[in-house]
């Protein structure tokens, strides 16, 4: 029983042109959202990725200094598959990302630089979906990204960004979208984009091999988005929770 089905979701509006995705780890976007990214970039929208760590603690069989290079390269390759050429990495420590002003400032800096009208991140909730425990880096990055939508617009938050780096406020972020929420509000029909999504996820080949268990990206994405599709009334959908940023 899909708990989303009883709520139903609306198709996500597409009257925007620039989206910055902010995630904790290489691969966070490829477990579903990359199919939606493929759809958006094919429609001419700009999408950029900001990855807060290098995922260096994510490969049990590889020491962090080597893992970070592997995972960085895999992320850049997987982004290119779905039409994303702008990928930035911060250097927060994998597994130990701290929510706070430093992280908010690092994200705000890139929001001001890239002037998006949408942000995308993983859910800030304690769980992915209904029951699966979320990961602390995801929660920290999500909270800081939700905050950055407003921090970017406020001249008096992180004034050094304008004074020292010439990054003037950007008030154009109208909504933040989160992936993996147990209470999704919107969906993206990715029926025609599953293949691109699977190819993007396959780029994380060394990482996926390090997990030490069989994993088929195409099957995984097909099954996950089929569940999302039920809530939207299409064969395959990526579900998102949308937070609007209009001032109250």
Residues in the site for Zn ion, rule: CB under 5 A? 25, 28
Looking at the chain, how many residues does it have? 248
C-beta closer to Zn ion: residue 51 or 239: 51
C-beta closer to Zn ion: residue 32 or 187: 32
CB of 196 to Zn ion, least distance (A): 21
Residues pairing with 7 in the sheet: none
CA-to-CA separations, 230 to 70, 111, 224, in angstroms, rounded: 36, 34, 11
C-beta closer to Zn ion: residue 57 or 162: 57
Mapping DSSP to helix (H, G, I), strand (E, B) and coil, where does residue 20 land? strand
Torsion of the alpha carbons at 172, 14, 138 and 82, rounded to the nearest 10: -110
Backbone angles phi, psi at 242, to 5 degrees: -105, 125
CB of 135 to Zn ion, least distance (A): 6
E strands of the chain, at which residues? 10-11, 18-23, 46-51, 86-89, 118-122, 127-128, 132-133, 175-179, 186-189, 237-244
C-beta closer to Zn ion: residue 36 or 122: 122
Q: Is residue 121 a contact partner of residue 142, using CB atoms and an 8 Å limit?
A: yes
Which residue's Cβ has the minimum distance to Zn ion? 25
* Cβ within 8 Å of residue 35, ≥6 positions away: 82, 188, 190, 193, 194, 196, 197, 200, 221, 225, 236, 238
Closest by CA to 232, choosing from 38, 31, 40, 11, is 11
C-beta closer to Zn ion: residue 136 or 172: 136
C-beta closer to Zn ion: residue 180 or 184: 180
C-beta closer to Zn ion: residue 55 or 169: 55
CB of 73 to Zn ion, least distance (A): 17
Tokens 């209009």 correspond to: 246
Closest by CA to 194, choosing from 109, 67, 81, is 81
């Amino acid at each position: 029983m899909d708990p989303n089905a009883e709520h139903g979701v609306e198709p996500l509006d597409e009257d925007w042109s620039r989206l910055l995705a902010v995630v904790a780890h290489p691969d966070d976007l490829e477990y579903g959202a990359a199919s939606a990214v493929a759809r958006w970039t094919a429609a001419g929208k700009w999408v950029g990725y900001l990855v807060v760590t290098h995922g260096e603690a994510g490969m049990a069989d590889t020491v962090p200094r080597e893992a970070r290079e592997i995972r960085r390269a895999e992320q850049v390759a997987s982004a290119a598959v779905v039409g994303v050429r702008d990928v930035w990495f911060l250097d927060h420590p994998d597994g130990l990302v701290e929510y706070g002003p430093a992280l908010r400032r690092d994200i705000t800096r890139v929001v001001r630089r890239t002037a998006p009208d949408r942000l995308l991140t993983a859910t800030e909730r304690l769980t992915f979906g209904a029951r699966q425990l979320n990961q602390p880096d995801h929660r920290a990055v999500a909270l800081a990204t939700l905050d950055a939508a407003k921090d970017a617009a406020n001249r008096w938050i992180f004034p050094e960004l304008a004074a020292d780096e010439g990054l003037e406020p950007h008030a154009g972020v109208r909504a933040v979208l989160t992936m993996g929420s147990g209470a999704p509000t919107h969906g993206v029909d990715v029926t025609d984009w599953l293949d691109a999504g699977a190819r993007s996820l396959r780029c994380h080949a060394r990482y996926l091999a390090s997990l030490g268990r069989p994993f088929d990206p195409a099957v995984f994405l097909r099954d996950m988005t089929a569940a999302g599709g039920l809530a939207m009334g299409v064969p395959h959908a990526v579900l998102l929770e949308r937070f609007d940023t209009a001032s109250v």
